[in-house]
Structure 1
Amino acid sequence: MLLKPLTDSFIRSAEFATLRDGLGRRLAVEGIAPSSFPFIAASVFNDDPRQTLVIVKNRQAMLDAVTDLCCWTDHSRVFALPAWETLPYEFVSPPENIERERITSLYRLIGGEPGIFVAPVESLVRLLPSRAFLLQKGISLEAGEDYPFDDIVHTLAAYGFTREYRVETYGQFSVKGGIIDVYLPTADNPVRLDFFGDTLETIREFDPESQISLSKLDGVTVYPRKELILSKREHKAVADELERAHSRKLQVPELAGGEKGDILHHGSIPGIEDLFPLIVDPATLLSLAREDARIIVFDPIDCAAARDAIVKTFSELYRRRHAHAYCLPPEKLIAPEAMEQARDRALDLQVFTTTPGAVQMKLRSIPNYHGKIKMVREELADRLAEDWRVYVCTGFEGQARRLYDLLSELSPSSSFEAIEPGSSLSILISPLKEGFELVEQKALVLTDHEIFGKAYRKKKHFKRKGSRPIESFLDLEIGDRVVHINHGIGFFRGIERMTASGVERDFLIIEYAGGDKLYVSLDQITMVQKFVGMDGREVRIDALGKKSAWNRIKERVQKSVEEIANELMHIYSRRRALKGYQFPPDTVWQEEFESQFEYDETPDQITAIEDIKDDMEKAEPMDRLVCGDVGFGKTEVAIRAAFKAVMAGKQVAVLVPTTVLAMQHYSTFSRRFADYPITIETVSRFRSRGEIAEAKRRLTAGSLDIIIGTHALLAKDVLIKNLGLIVIDEEQRFGVMHKEKLKKLRTQVDVVTLSATPIPRTLHMSLAGIRDLSIISTPPENRQSIETYVIEENPDIVRMAILKEIERGGQVFYVHNRVQTIDAQAAALRELVPEASSVIAHGQMPEHELEDVIIDFLARKYDILISTSIIESGLDMPNVNTIIINRADTFGLSQLYQLKGRVGRSITQAYAYLTYPRHIALSETAQKRLSVIAEYSDLGSGFKIAMKDMEIRGSGNILGREQSGNIMDVGFDLYCQMLEDAVRRLKGERPLRMFRTPVFMKTNFFIPETYIADERQKIEFYKRFESCELIEEVDELEKEMTDRFGHPPGEVRILVELEKIRTIASTLMVGEILEDSRGVRIRISGDSRIDVKRLLALIKKDKRFSLDPVDKEVLHFRPGALTEEKKLDELKKCLQQMI
């Protein structure tokens, strides 16, 4: 909306008046730049804010149009209406995010809401449920009104919402007493419906991560989770028809591992989008819009071609499938004539002049300056001299500030971040894709695309939620492994309520070897951690009692941890004593060089860059490790360090483990340094002997600034005259001898090591002060999420997925993880898609041959790389945005996550197809694994487990392989705790241990199932209460509990009071609080922080308190005949008086 003032001035022009007069009938506007299409559409809407339907050729065009329209008008009035993005007749339903976008927009459209609805041609021509069908569903709820509570619960289930104990993502709901939590597909945050009986007292929005309420709402409308939610009658009608088709030996939808009869018992049918006309009247998108809705078509020639391609796809797939699968004919599913019906009353926006009577406008494209800032400045100076208004747009704040510094001097009335009245030059943070000029208005809109030759933009997306830490126990399932600090690794078997010493409380059950069980009171839950190890590794289960080897294992790991900590501390201390080269502070050239970076740096990148510069400017040699996934910006960090070194007259060596990586780095470095007199060369087998010899000569002479190569750079005949910085990429992949040589170099020059394997922040904290680490864990903001499909093996889907990627200029990974059959699979794939060129890669190929294949693929000589799971993790292949994983059911979760992450490395929409064999019943584990990888892109337990697996592998890379085994022996969390303790002892500090006063009161305290039914959330609250250090934290936790689950019952109120007593007593370092038949005994230890004067004053004032005549460290409290809650309240007040 930042640019809306420009549409306001355009609306007042004579050009627009001509256009306005022709709206409502078929009208063409021609001779205009494609980048101006959204501007014209937004101007039409801003002039008369009524329902407006914008038709574009495909999904990418829709995403681009939505982003641009939001720059020109109120973003809350712009809606995407994507197609289902599924192939017909394959019985696959759309991904959750597509369903969510569609349901959000469709109900606004049929409700007559004014707004701009952007739809690809496929959404226009593909039939969808009628207005009447959609309007049957949807209930409006208002605070203060009465609604039958049970009816609301039943409605949510009928609308396709899944009932969970905790609501975290779209389409879930939970019931907790009189509270219903639900995450509506149309909302950014879930809502909490708080009932008293059947009265809806309050509606509160809440944070899905913390679960805490945010704000009150007056009302909310509940729509179905997806548009094709069927009633029982409709569901049965479809199921009956499919049963009849199945009896005729036709293929019909089936659930993974299920029988045909399962259809009757599930709330949704896979691929119902291709079957709904059996029971629902179909309609077109046009019929759902208001009769007076405006229609605007972006490039009708491209849209018509897209329509024809859709018709061809439906016809071809129907011809190939209908003989052996249940298929409705294309005319039942698509309405190609909708395109012409739309154009009969549409405003056509097109580049070329082909239509008689078309309106001509002077909105022209701008030439590309390809980063030549001087030319940009000259052009803008000329325009400003001729009284033009100039608007420079970039999607990133850092870039906007750099451009303001470069351009603001051209105009004394320049403005930043806003269009100011009277300002002739405005630098704006706006993700507009491309600019254009309005000749009649003398206005120039310029973007990154024209200035730098590339478009960098932040994508518009639904609000993402951060993921919870796995340590929270919320991901704990019965049967999972847990670690008790004193007893070792066992299986979690649930929670049981038991009476011990006359007191009823909750116990966590851990089963050890031989079936022995340990019962841990949940007020001692901090002794238990969830075991986190590596995917696919066998884990030992410990024994209890005399047979236990746990203490011996723990001692062995402790000794090993102390040795590694000692070694790291020794290396760190020795390096601190060495004298290295002290680089000078940044120069003006450094600032200019960094200003040319096209993206906004992520916070982690900025921190890493600052850490490295600080290290370089110190007297001792730098040795810093930078960890982060591929594409997160590690190379840019290294490039800036290299530039700083070269500016100080030093030479730089970049060491990589493979020739392929050397080529990639050479290309990246050369592009970044193109505008500076910095010489770069690479040494690899793709260079001739003469070229390598010349490079070595120049290194020795000091005339070559940066050399990039493999371990060949470590050879004795490579002499670098003035080496100042070494950048090592993926050091763990070098051999032992090379690592030893690198160890020596670390004591002589500054070293930056890059690793694509992430490490956890817990390990980062444990190593603080003995290993210089920088972690880049935040991805660039313009990343697209990966649309993931879990499907039965189907040649038609594979063929269409490959062709779809090739047609948009991309490449494909096809993963087949058996070397023995990969040639046969490749032959079948070539026969299936003869139009595509392909090449095979696997780990048993000779190294040089494998490198050649990868390099040819990177050079785009092939469309498809048919590979085992060795697809190189360190490589950045932004042009590969479709991955097909054959037999995905045979991969581990972290393997699947890593493979899926090989695509989606750029701003292009990426797709992952995970296939499993037809007619093979998947194991429950495989089903769960596939559903996790399909549902979550960056949240949910599956993601965190996969990340933990990779992080532990990354920890092994840093600490050594032996430590990976130690981590598996005691669990990751306990290992990190031991390492941190060892480091603190070496630094002369006390290990961090939170003192907790044991409290034994003769009163029942537990959380009943009627209050919190989910064991995982129950454990979470016990653990969080145990972690409280201040009474205010206990109060906040009590408020949160009340907010989420309603007013607590008596047993929970007693638990809360006990935790307040324990927290105060722990602050005072009270040794123990014990209730017996004579009263309450408070043991005051020698380390106690009790104020003695206040204690004596309390004893003197209140006769219920007295010191033990024999044991002077014991204070007696005899409360008399008080209720449990009153007794605890008096004890709490007494302790508070001693602070």
Structure 2
Amino acid sequence: MNLKRIVFPFFSSRLNRDEEMFPPLPGSLLTLFLTYLKEKTGKPILLITADESAVRTVKRDMPQINVLPEIAVLPSSFLSPHLKIKRQWFHALKTLTSSSTSTITVAHPTALLPWFPDSKTILSLFISVTSKSELSVMSTAEKLARLGYDSTDVVRVRGQFSRRGDILDIFPINLDAPVRIETDFDTIASIRSFDPISQRSMTELETVEIYPVRLFHDTPENREHLADQFSREFSSPDLELSLEEKRRLIQHGELEGFDHYFHLIWKENNLETLFKNHFLLIHNPSGIHSTAEAFLMKIANDYEQATPQGYIGLDPVSHFLSLDELHSFFNSHDHTLVAASGTPGPFRPLTIGGKALAVAETISATLRKMPVILGVRSKGEGERIENFLFENGIAYSRKPVERKAVLLEETQCRTGFEIEGHFSFLTTADLFPGKRGERRSPAHTPFFSDFSDIKPGDHVVHMDYGIARYEGLRTMSVDEASEECLELVFHGESRVMLPVSRLHLLQKYQGSGGTVQLSSLRSSSWQKTRKRIQKEVSQYAEELLTLYARRKLAKGIAFPPDSIWQREFEEIFPFDETEDQVQAIEEIKKDMESPAPMDRLLCGDVGFGKTEVAMRAVFKAVDNGRQVMVLAPTTVLAFQHYQTFQERFRRFPMEIRMLSRFVSEAQQKKTLKETGAGKVDILIGTHRLLSKDVIVPKLGLLIVDEEQKFGVLHKERMKMLKQNIEVLSLSATPIPRTLNMSVMGLKDISIIESPPRDRLAINTYHIVFDPLTISEAIQFELKRGGQVYFVNNHVRTIET
């Protein structure tokens, strides 16, 4: 690897100077330095840093590194960390118990302050399952329960398991899909991943590693031990009521939120033991000191406020490392100190991204001063960069050459840097921000299946037999073969066993309440009802088909392929698109470039990036001389869209206006006049846009956000607009009629179901009103730059 061969000598020369502090390591230079230390010392490496950008860079370059994340939940809150955070902790802890010398662990300074369990305790909490090996379903189910997994009838989410005879379904917190383990006389016959929605098996697996939900083996002995430790540790009279409640929860095995207290049954802190062979890279020592100091002060304040009010908390003096102990830990290991970013040094960060022409000019100017290495991640990406360099008249080579040419290097390093006076390292991520690689999301799950909502006792509808009551899953054996079946009970206690493979015949009953009449297997009434409904539906479908056939036959706009401006607009997007976003963008552009008018539904959860996808379509329309209307159901949402569009389009000469009650009458008249004259490119507003006085002569695209929230009259007006223009509807919760039209093919659909990188799912907690917990939650959210909505149920007490 040319990059290592060039960079490593710089590291060696700096270390040989025996300086107190190593210079700052911007971009992927930090990743390369970690690799250098691992090869030079032959030891596992522990990087300690409070710099989030440094952690992101290293994780992007080396996705498989271990991470000990920041502690964000305070002990007195008795709230458990998010499962994703736990997964990172458990993965790192398990790796630390191995004797491997090739591991790199990144730790936030607060992660080193609590107690660590010993290797024996850690390893006892993991379950490893291998095909054809021996396994007792009953014993494994009992152990899963002791590790914090919830027993349920149907496994749907992480942290659940279900046992049915010789079959064990588990959704490990460390996997993207649940697994189904089938045994034959205590020998594993098969291990398969399966879809949590349809419950159908997917991929055959050889081995499965199951992480625990908590660092506690929930045995009667450990419960008693933990309860006794609580009595000893929290014996203050002020804590009597809290202690009684916590002891009761422990004795009943209700351990949610006790994560900060499991160390009470450990004999000692095993931090030194787990990291005894590591070489430490201490990144920005002053930042680490201030971060750890602030955390310990926060814990101390939490403890001092909680105890007098009768709440249990942890005294940092006896339950966390002090600053002196943390520094002693650093000094007891071979280590290197690295200066904070911004400190003068020979290594410099690079910021080069922007418009294609500016990027090409910057590369050429840099090449005239020093050698340039351009990092690509694959052969295909290298070919695309070669085309870019060739089009801009920049010499390049795959091998080192004497002449001034960009050296293309295949590497996983994704952030550039410069070694002053020697060379510059660039990556495609630096040149074109927003095009960084994204983890592949799991394949689409059956979006329209509602089997995950069915539980025993629910009413269901069988396509052929009618309404029944679902009794649960059963394993049936026929001709020495076993298959899982859904047990359905009809009128008169008649029963049908429906194989899971025929699940498509079933859907959940969606009645309006009241007594549900089960269908009879001995009567033809269900067939008569089906025929009557089919006739009515056929008439309605004929009307719809006629309407949409006219749209399909209508001649659309057929926009040309992307222009240079379009590519520049997309390149300056500051975040990473998910695969689903990229797929949706491609589908929408393909529709817009076809002769038929687009009518597409874009589905995705809140915050999954639907607006950015829509803005790509808006830019394409405006870039080709068309006007766009963006329709929102509320004034507030219209204003939010207006602000978002203003910010996103600010570098381009496009006129954006808004029509709503937030806009004065005079300004509205001016906007209407200029829109009619074709001077307004993008018009954003509420149902006001559907008024007859709104004339958009060059209308080419209609964006409808949350279409289901518009009334019948508004939708009739929309139909008048939809004769031959492109229509894109956005929704997080589309109504069944709209979804059904998409399924039938009357309306195309794109689905964004993968969240943005590193986004955590929402955790919901139901707790007794506690001012301390609420205060800490608000402070934490504000610290991370988030927003807080506090909903109060009484107007008279809203300001108290």
TM-score per shorter chain, which class? 0.7 to 0.9
Query: Match of 1:43?
Result: 36
Give CA deviations for 1:809-855 in whole Å, capped at 9, x if unaligned: 22123345x4xx1552x424xxxxxxxxxxxxxxxxxxxxxxxxxxx
Is 2:409 aligned against 1:444? Answer: no
Counterpart of 1:442, as a letter, is: F
Query: CA–CA distance in 2 between the matches of 1:588 and 1:327?
Result: 60
C-alpha deviation, 1:246, in angstroms:
8.9
Give the residue type in structure 2 aligned to 1:349. V
Q: In structure 1, give the amino acid aligned to 2:571.
A: Q
What does 1:232-631 correspond to in 2, within 5 Å?
Answer: 232-242=220-230, 250-252=240-242, 261=248, 263-266=250-253, 269-283=255-269, 285-290=271-276, 292-323=277-308, 324-336=310-322, 337-344=324-331, 345=333, 346-351=335-340, 361-366=345-350, 368-369=351-352, 371-391=354-374, 405-409=387-391, 414=396, 424-426=406-408, 432=414, 434-439=415-420, 441-446=422-427, 448=429, 451=431, 467=445, 471=449, 476-485=454-463, 488-493=466-471, 510=488, 516-520=492-496, 522=498, 529-532=505-508, 538=513, 541-544=516-519, 554=530, 557-576=533-552, 578=554, 580=555, 582-583=557-558, 585-586=560-561, 588-589=563-564, 592=567, 596=571, 598=573, 609=585, 612=588, 616=592, 622-631=598-607
Instruction: Note the alpha carbon deviations across 1:918-950, whole angstroms, 9 max, x for none.
Output: xxxxxxxxxxxxxxxxxxxxxxxxxxxxxxxxx
Deviation at 1:764, TM superposition (A): 5.0
Q: Could you tell me which amino acid in structure 1 is paired with residue 95 of structure 2? A: R
* Greater displacement, 107-116 / 754-763: 754-763
The answer to whether the aligner puts 1:763 opposite 2:740 as a matched pair is yes
CA distance in 1, matches of 2:484, 2:352: 70
Q: Please, which of 646, 668, 682 is the counterpart of residue 692 of structure 1? A: 668
Would the alpha carbon gap of residues 660 and 49 (structure 1) be closer, same or farther in structure 2, given more than 3 Å must change?
farther
Please report how far the alpha carbon of residue 242 of structure 1 lies from its aligned counterpart in structure 2 after TM superposition: 4.3
The alpha-carbon deviation at position 522 of structure 1 amounts to 4.4
Partner deviation per Cα, 1:290-311 (whole Å, 9 max, x = no partner)? 2x42111222222111111111
Name the stretch that deviates more: 741-750 or 146-155: 146-155
Out of 24, 30, 55, the residue aligned to residue 48 of structure 2 is 55
Q: Provide the secondary structure at the position in 1 that maps to 2:799.
A: helix
Q: Which amino acid aligns with 2:59?
A: T
CA distance in structure 2 between the aligned counterparts of 1:741 and 1:528, rounded to whole angstroms: 37
CA gap of 1:732–1:340, structure 2 versus 1, over 3 A, is same
Alpha-carbon offset, residue 353 of structure 1: 9.5
1:312 to partner: Cα distance: 1.0
1:655: Cα distance to partner?
2.9
Change in 2 beyond 3 A, CA 1:192/1:17: farther
Moved more, 699-708 or 170-179: 170-179
Residue 530 (structure 1) shift: 4.4
Task: Tell me if 1:681 matches 2:677.
Answer: no
In 2, the alpha carbon distance for the partners of 1:497 and 1:38 equals: 52
Decide whether the 8 Å contact of 1:168 with 1:208 is kept in 2. no
Counterpart amino acid of residue 301 in structure 1: S
1:19 CA displacement: 1.5
Give the deviation of 1:591 after TM superposition. Answer: 5.6
Please give the alpha-carbon distance, in whole angstroms, between the structure 1 residues aligned to 2:162 and 2:209.
17
| Partner SS for 1:792 | coil
Q: 2 CA distance for matches of 1:391 and 1:782?
A: 25
Contact 1:204-1:213 within 8 A present in 2 as well: no
Q: Distance in 2 between matches of 1:814 and 1:381?
A: 54
Q: RMSD of the alignment, in Å?
A: 4.8
Task: Supply the distance in 1 between the matched residues of 2:133 and 2:487 (Cα, whole angstroms).
Answer: 44
Q: 1:251 to 1:103 in 2, by over 3 A?
A: farther
Question: In 1, distance between residues paired with 2:284 and 2:791?
Answer: 38
Kindly provide the amino acid, as one letter, of the partner of residue 338 in structure 1.
E
Match of 1:665 in 2: 641
For the pair shown, which has the larger CA radius of gyration, 1 or 2? 1
Question: What pairs up with 1:677-826 in 2 under 5 angstroms?
Answer: 677-747=653-723, 749-758=725-734, 763=740, 766-768=743-745, 771-779=746-754, 782=757, 784-786=759-761, 788=763, 790-793=765-768, 794-816=770-792, 818=793, 821-822=794-795, 824=797, 826=798
CA pair 718-277 structure 1, distance change in 2 beyond 3 A:
closer
Residue 434 of structure 2 contacts residue 577 of structure 2 at CA under 8 Å; is this kept in 1?
A: no
- Structure 2 equivalent of residue 827 of structure 1: 799
Identify if the C-alpha distance between structure 1 residues 442 and 203 changes in structure 2 by more than 3 Å, giving closer, same or farther. farther
Q: Tell whether the 8 Å contact from 2:131 to 2:206 is kept in structure 1 after alignment.
A: no
Give the aligned partner of residue 227 of structure 1: 215
Shift of 1:801: 1.6
| AA in 2 matched with 1:9 | I
Task: Describe the shift of the 1:635–1:29 C-alpha distance in structure 2 as closer, same or farther (beyond 3 A).
Answer: same
Structure 1: which 5+ runs fail to align?
A: 355-359, 499-504, 829-1139
What displacement does 1:343 show? Answer: 3.8
Match of 1:962 in 2: none
1:1080 corresponds to: none
**Paired residues, number:** 779
Of 96, 100, 109 in structure 2, the residue corresponding to residue 113 of structure 1 is 100
| Alpha-carbon contact 1:126-1:284 (below 8 Å) kept | no
Shift of 1:427: 7.8
In structure 2, stretches of 5+ residues that fail to align are 477-482
Q: 1:282 to 1:688 in 2, by over 3 A?
A: same
State how far apart, in whole Å, the 2-side matches of 1:628 and 1:671 are: 22
Distance of 2:471 and 2:632 partners within structure 1:
48
DSSP 3-state at the match of 2:753: coil
* 1:872-922 CA distance string (max 9 Å, x none): xxxxxxxxxxxxxxxxxxxxxxxxxxxxxxxxxxxxxxxxxxxxxxxxxxx
Instruction: State the distance in 1 between where 2:42 and 2:153 align.
Output: 43
CA distance in structure 2 between the partners assigned to 1:435 and 1:384 by the alignment: 15
Q: In the TM superposition, what are the counterparts of 1:49-198 in structure 2 within 5 Å?
A: 49-57=42-50, 60=52, 63-64=55-56, 66-70=58-62, 75-76=63-64, 78-83=65-70, 85-114=72-101, 115-131=103-119, 133-134=121-122, 158-160=146-148
Q: Once the two structures are superposed, what CA deviation does each residue of 1:1005-1059 show, in whole Å capped at 9, x if it has no partner?
A: xxxxxxxxxxxxxxxxxxxxxxxxxxxxxxxxxxxxxxxxxxxxxxxxxxxxxxx
Letter of the 1:763 counterpart = N
Aligned AA (1:827): E
1:214 aligns with 2:204: yes
Q: 8 Å contact 1:611–1:774 — kept in the other structure?
A: no
Task: Report how far residue 119 of structure 1 moved.
Answer: 1.0
Identity %: 28
TM-score by length of structure 2 reads 0.81
Paired AA for residue 111 in structure 2: S
Question: Quick one: distance in 1 between partners of 2:129 and 2:697?
Answer: 76
* 2:788 alignment partner, SS class: strand
* Offset, 1:479: 0.4
Q: Show CA shifts across 1:783-821 (max 9, x none).
A: 5122525252322222112111212322123345x4xx1
CA displacement 1:664-704 (0-9 Å, x = unmatched):
33344444544544333333444444443333332333333
